[in-house]
């Protein structure tokens, strides 16, 4: 079953086409990653699906409700976690959750019970009565996510949830997102990081210039993008052109490195045959830049 | 979920800020009291009230009106901060009425201002200001002051929603001063050059200040002109006009968040 369906969404801001024929379907209970660079239209897409903005054209349904005509019903089914942790910094964590719970229509006692439950789930019970301004970035984000889960929504929107967090906080937030999805909530997550989409999402849509240019499981996409890169630093005693000739690669003469798009084993064997002992050898994933270059090139050829 | 209930919950959130961080409102109050003392005692000796009367008795109602007008700053700041930090967007993604966010702001700011008014009135009594009229007119004076606060609240909501940057807050903080001083809040319009005095007489703040003085039985510093004849009427009409203009503008600014 499709929990999220967007068809042909268009949204213009002056000359900028923030959404330019945006289509998306997301199945119930999965984490879907919306991957794209700054300005690709990710936030606009999330805001349109979360009933915060009106689109110029197109239609979307969330949990079976049209976002335009039945926004009140949609709002009962969603949690929205924006780019900033939208919690009250002066109040405590518990006060925040009780306030949002009551705004979601819970009675005082029910709101308190739900707040305690969420504080416990998100590991915030110890800090429940401290002002949120004293929280770490990861704690603040977890509270933010908890506030979006008060009514156990069908869909949770997360707009770049780990931007600006340190690695440890990022891991905390990732765990929270996984646990949320495991409890049956559909998650639409926007991110600029391939790594993050890879870690969390069962399905990834790559977005550029207001529309989706590729969708698939992370492994599918990576196959389409090409495999891992091996970066070899060639020592001064060896010939850079010789290595370049042996391996099909791009050469950077300044840093004496070659970047090879081939399995590590093949590269190591080739170097061995040449008798080259590299100064450094790095294995890395395709970067987002490379994903885009590859996908947008393919898009143009098609 | 009624819009009214949601508004009340948002109001309670702001009131809870007081308990957590009382220094903001306390400094606001201290500032008003400082202004009162500076004008009352430092400058006051050099100021003559046209038509006669004690300057402290003239000044206090003016300071009350001034502090109500300065409330626009607090409203715009709070509204802008919520919009900037994404809290307004969170409210908008929740199943609550469209008016709840504004209602919450109105509830919180009116409560704060009523408390501020009480403290300033008490402070006035301490430095020798007196109400010399009957309770009825005195109560009406307080009502008029709160009406002015209510009106500028909508200016604040409009500004906060429309200009969300920190710069806008700073602009409001600077602009309230000339608007506040170009009125009869602190000195009578009759001591100003003719054209400036005429301008000051038409300031909504002057209408509230003058009407409040009349209703408290304090010297008004007015011996003729528009304020002599119509201060009370203007003190009603100005806030209603401001509200009639800025309430729809605020609603429009809130709707425009959807674009």
By C-alpha distance, the chain B residue nearest A105 is B1
Q: How far apart are CA B147 and CA B117, in angstroms?
A: 12
Per-residue pLDDT tens over the stretch B152-198: 999 999 999 998 776 777 888 888 888 899 999 988 888 888 899 88
Percent of chain A with pLDDT over 70: 96
For residue B120, pLDDT beyond 70? yes
Give tens-digit pLDDT for A34-61: 998 888 999 999 999 999 999 999 999 9
The domain segmentation of chain B, as residue ranges, is 34-95+108-256
Q: For the ranges A68-82, A217-231, B194-208, which has the lowest average pLDDT?
A: A217-231
CATH of domain A229-284: 3.30.70
One of 3.40.50.300, 3.40.50.10680, 3.60.15.10, 3.40.109.10 is the CATH number of A2-224, namely 3.40.50.300
Structure tokens at B212: 């409040």
A170-199 pLDDT, tens digit each:
898 899 899 999 989 999 999 988 889 888
What the block records as the tokens of B33 is 């009291």
User: Rounded distance, CA A49 to CA A32, Å?
Assistant: 14
Q: Averaging pLDDT over each range in A81-90, B137-146, B176-185, B224-233, which range is the top one?
A: B137-146
Among B1, B17, B100, whose Cβ lies nearest the Cβ of A90? B17
Q: What is the pLDDT of residue A253?
A: 80
CB A115 within 8 Å of CB A97: yes
Q: How far is A9 from chain B (nearest CA, A)?
A: 14
Region(s) of chain A under CATH 3.30.70: 229-284
Residue with tokens 């109001």: B11
User: Within chain B, what is the greatest distance between any pair of CA atoms?
Assistant: 58
- Sheet order of strands, A16-27 included: A16-27, A2-13, A57-62, A65-66
Q: How many other C-beta atoms lie within 10 A of the C-beta of residue B88?
A: 22
State ipTM. 0.89
Take residue A85 and report the two structure tokens written for it: 């942790």
What is the residue-averaged pLDDT of chain A?
Answer: 89
Return the percent helix, strand and coil in chain B, to nearest 5.
80, 0, 20
Mean pLDDT of the residues in chain B: 91
Pairwise CB contact (< 8 Å): B86 & A103: no
The pLDDT-based confidence of A299 (bands split at 50, 70, 90) is low
The DSSP result for B63-122, as a single string, is HHHHHHHHHHHHHHHHHHHHHHTTHHHHHHTSSS-TTHHHHHHHHHHHHHHHHHHHHHHH
Partner-chain contact A90 B9, CB within 8 Å: no
Chain A residues touching residue B9 (CB < 8 angstroms):
99, 102-103
**Can you tell me the mean pLDDT for B77-96?**
92
Interface of A with B in 222-281 (CB under 8 A): none
Q: Which residue matches tokens 């050099």?
A: B46
Q: Tell which residue, A156, A155, A119, A158, has the closest CA to residue A139.
A: A119
| Predicted TM-score of the model (pTM) | 0.86
What residues contact residue A176 under an 8 Å CB cut-off, 6+ apart?
A122, A142, A145
On the question of pLDDT at B51 being above 90, the answer is no
Pairing state between β A31-35 and A229-233: unpaired
What is the location of CATH 3.40.50.300 in chain A?
Answer: 2-224
CA A102, A104, A109: angle at the middle one, nearest 5?
Answer: 35
């Amino acid at each position: 079953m499709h929990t999220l369906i967007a068809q042909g969404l268009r949204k213009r801001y002056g000359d900028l086409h923030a959404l330019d024929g945006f289509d998306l379907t997301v199945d119930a209970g999965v984490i879907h990653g919306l991957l794209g660079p700054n300005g690709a239209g990710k936030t606009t897409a999330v805001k349109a699906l979360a009933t915060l903005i009106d689109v110029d054209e197109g239609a979307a349904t969330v949990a079976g409700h049209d976002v335009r005509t039945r926004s009140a019903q949609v709002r009962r089914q969603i949690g929205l976690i924006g780019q900033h942790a939208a919690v009250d910094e002066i109040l405590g964590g518990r006060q925040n959750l009780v306030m949002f719970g009551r705004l979601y229509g819970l009675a005082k006692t029910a709101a308190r019970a739900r707040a305690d439950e969420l504080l416990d789930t998100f590991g915030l019970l110890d800090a429940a009565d401290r002002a949120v301004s004293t929280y770490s970035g990861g704690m603040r984000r977890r509270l933010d996510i908890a506030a979006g889960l008060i009514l156990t929504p069908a869909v949770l929107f997360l707009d770049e949830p780990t931007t600006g967090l340190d690695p440890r906080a990022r891991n905390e937030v990732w765990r929270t997102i996984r646990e949320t999805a495991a409890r049956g909530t559909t998650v639409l997550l926007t991110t600029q990081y391939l790594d993050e989409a890879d870690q969390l999402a069962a399905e990834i849509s790559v977005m550029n210039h207001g529309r989706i240019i590729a969708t698939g499981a992370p492994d599918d996409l990576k196959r389409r993008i090409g495999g891992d890169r091996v970066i070899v630093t060639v020592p001064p005693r060896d010939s850079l052109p010789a290595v370049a000739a042996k391996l099909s690669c791009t050469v950077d003469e300044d840093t004496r490195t070659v970047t090879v798009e081939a399995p590590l084993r093949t590269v190591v064997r080739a170097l061995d045959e040449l008798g080259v002992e590299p100064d450094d050898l790095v294995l890395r994933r395709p970067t987002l830049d490379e994903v885009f270059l590859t996908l947008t090139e393919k898009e143009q050829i098609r | 979920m009624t819009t009214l209930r949601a508004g009340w919950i948002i109001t309670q959130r702001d009131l809870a800020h007081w308990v957590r961080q009382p220094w903001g409102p306390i400094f606001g109050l201290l500032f008003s009291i400082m202004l009162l003392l500076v004008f009352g005692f430092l400058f006051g000796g050099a100021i003559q009230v046209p038509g006669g009367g004690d300057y402290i008795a003239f000044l206090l109602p003016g300071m009350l009106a001034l502090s109500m007008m300065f409330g626009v700053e607090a409203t715009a700041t709070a509204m802008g901060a919520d919009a900037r930090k994404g809290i307004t967007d969170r409210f908008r993604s929740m199943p609550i009425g469209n008016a709840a966010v504004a209602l919450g702001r109105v509830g919180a700011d009116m409560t704060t201002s009523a408390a501020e008014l009480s403290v300033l009135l008490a402070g006035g009594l301490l430095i020798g200001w007196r109400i010399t009229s009957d309770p009825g007119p005195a109560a009406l004076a307080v009502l008029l002051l709160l009406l002015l606060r209510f009106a500028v609240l909508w200016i604040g909501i409009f500004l906060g929603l429309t200009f969300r940057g920190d710069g806008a807050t700073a602009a409001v903080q600077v602009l309230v001063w000339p608007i506040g001083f170009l009125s009869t809040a602190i000195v009578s319009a009759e001591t100003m050059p003719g054209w400036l005095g005429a301008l000051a007489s038409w300031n909504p703040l002057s209408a509230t200040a003058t009407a409040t003085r009349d209703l408290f039985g304090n010297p008004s510093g007015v011996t003729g002109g528009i304020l002599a004849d119509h201060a009370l009427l203007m003190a009603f009409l100005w806030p209603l006009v401001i509200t009639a203009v800025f309430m729809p503008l605020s609603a429009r600014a809130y709707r425009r968040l959807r674009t």
